[in-house]
Amino acid sequence: MGQQRSVVRQLGLLDQLLPILVLVAMAGGILLGYYNTGIRVLWDQGEIEGVSIPIAVGLLVMMYPVLCKVRYEKLPEIFRYKGFLQQLLLSLVLNWIIGPALMTALAWATLPDLPAFRVGIIMVGLARCIAMVLIWNMLASGHSEFCAVLVAVNSVLQIFLYSPFAYIYIELLGGSDDVVNVSLVMILKSVAIFLGIPVVAGFLTRLIIRGMCGLRDWYDNKLMPVMGPLALVGLLFTIVVMFAAQGERVIDEIGNVCRVAVPLILYFGITFVSTFLIVKAIGMTYEVTVTQAFTTSSNNFELAIAVAVSTYGIDSQQALATTIGPLIEVPMLLGLVYVALWAQRFFVPGLKGLEHTDASEAEEMGDTKASRSNKVALEDVDADTATNTEAVKV
């Protein structure tokens, strides 16, 4: 067993500097928004489904390089892996049963006297992640194809489940008298813009350059290393814009912001650690384990913000709470990336992952064993023949 490399050495230079760059981006964004109050008005003049255009652009730039790396040609194979259905079912339970219930419970436990902020936090918990999880999964060296499948499944379920879940958790359990009307069209637009566009762009880029043009080595070894940092640039730009947009309100309402941060910090920590331990206990590889952990603990803040703004207004406390969501999620999950890389040393090399039990591999192994058996049998026959021949000569 080789010596484990340090967490820092597993990352590139930009990845190593990312925590410092994120802190600088957060501080710079807050100061920019606080001392230049007109910047929020300027950015809010153009929106895409309740999300300002600069944030939308940052998200698309952030996700495009990640989705260019996904091996789409390998996706059909995942559905044939033994263990895939088990992991998919586990993901659905964690994302759609445990996650919303836990966020609602934490919101009630920590914000009993702040109903508007509580509703905003519940909205964040109902929106399962379809975007930033790809970044965290990439930084933590997770299973990119499995992550893409989980994101796709959550996107489809989100279209049909967000509205009824909003009724149950906000109107019935959230203590809100307001009716939350979430149209399927709104969710479809959010999924199409923040997931559909980068997926199509990434797929076509890989198909045209790597597939049709036959430039596989150049694509994998030249283009991808150059495009990789673009995802982190998009992440940093998005952070600056998000914090600048809410910089003034964050400082003016720092007390409420700190209180709203409590259930979010607890949620991200509990869901990540518990999911990580559960999947590891099942015996999955590090790549599958970390993918499950980040998929469960991440949220679709774009959708939560859009719903809060359309229902309660841009200046509402509910909208502010949903905006605080990514402000806490980004540094929290970035820290968990380093926790995951550190915990990688506790995984035994050679664990059976999703790929291990592919039917074709099993078939090939069976054929190989049969060939070896036949070869041994033939060798035995030859040996017996030689022995008999010698006996006859004698």
| CATH number, domain with residue 275 | 1.20.1530.20
- 128: which strand partners? 299
Identify whether residues 267 and 378 lie together within a single domain.
Answer: no
Distance CA 296, CA 276 (A): 10
Would you state the structure tokens that stand for residue 47, as one six-digit string?
């929106």
Enclosing domain of residue 158 = 8-356
Return all residues near 82 (Cβ < 8 A) that are at least 6 apart: 356, 357
Query: Do residues 195 and 285 share a domain?
Result: yes
- For residue 351, being part of any structural domain is answered with yes
- Residue 307 domain-assigned (yes or no): yes
- Domain membership of residue 3 (yes or no) is no
Pair 380, 257 in one domain? no
Query: Over 323-391, what HEC string results?
Result: HHHHHHHHHHHHHHHHHHHHHHHHCCCCCCCHHHHCHHHHHHHHHHHHHHHHHHHHHHHHHHHHHHHHH
53 and 158 in a single domain? The answer is yes
Residue-wise pLDDT tens digits, 126-147:
988 777 888 899 889 999 889 9
Q: Are residues 74 and 135 in the same domain?
A: yes
Global pTM value:
0.76
Could you tell me if 211 and 302 lie in one domain? yes
Longest alpha-carbon distance in the chain:
108
Question: Are 242 and 325 in the same domain?
Answer: yes
Tens of pLDDT, residue by residue over 205-258, are 988 988 888 788 898 888 888 887 888 888 888 888 888 877 787 888 888 889
302 and 382 in a single domain? The answer is no
Residue 1 inside a domain? The answer is no
Report the number of distinct structural domains present in the chain: 2
pLDDT tens series, the chain, 394 aa: 443 445 555 556 666 677 788 889 888 888 888 888 777 777 666 776 667 788 888 888 888 888 888 888 877 877 777 788 899 999 999 999 999 999 999 999 999 998 889 999 999 999 887 778 888 998 899 998 899 889 888 888 888 888 888 888 887 876 666 656 666 677 777 777 777 888 889 889 988 988 888 788 898 888 888 887 888 888 888 888 888 877 787 888 888 889 999 999 999 999 999 999 999 999 899 999 999 999 999 988 877 887 887 777 767 888 888 888 888 888 899 899 999 999 998 887 755 566 544 444 444 444 444 444 444 443 444 445 444 444 444 4
The answer to the question of residue 2 being in a domain is no
Residue the block writes with tokens 């035995």: 380
Whether 19 is in a domain gets the answer yes
**Two structure tokens written together for 21:** 């760059």
Residues 250 and 109 in one domain: yes
Give me the count of residues in the chain.
Answer: 394
Residues 96 and 233 in one domain: yes
Residue 242 domain flag: yes
Same-domain status, 333 and 364 = no
302 in any annotated domain: yes
Q: Phi/psi of residue 283, each to 5°?
A: 105, 20
Give yes or no: residues 286 and 177 share one domain.
yes
DSSP structural state of residue 93: H
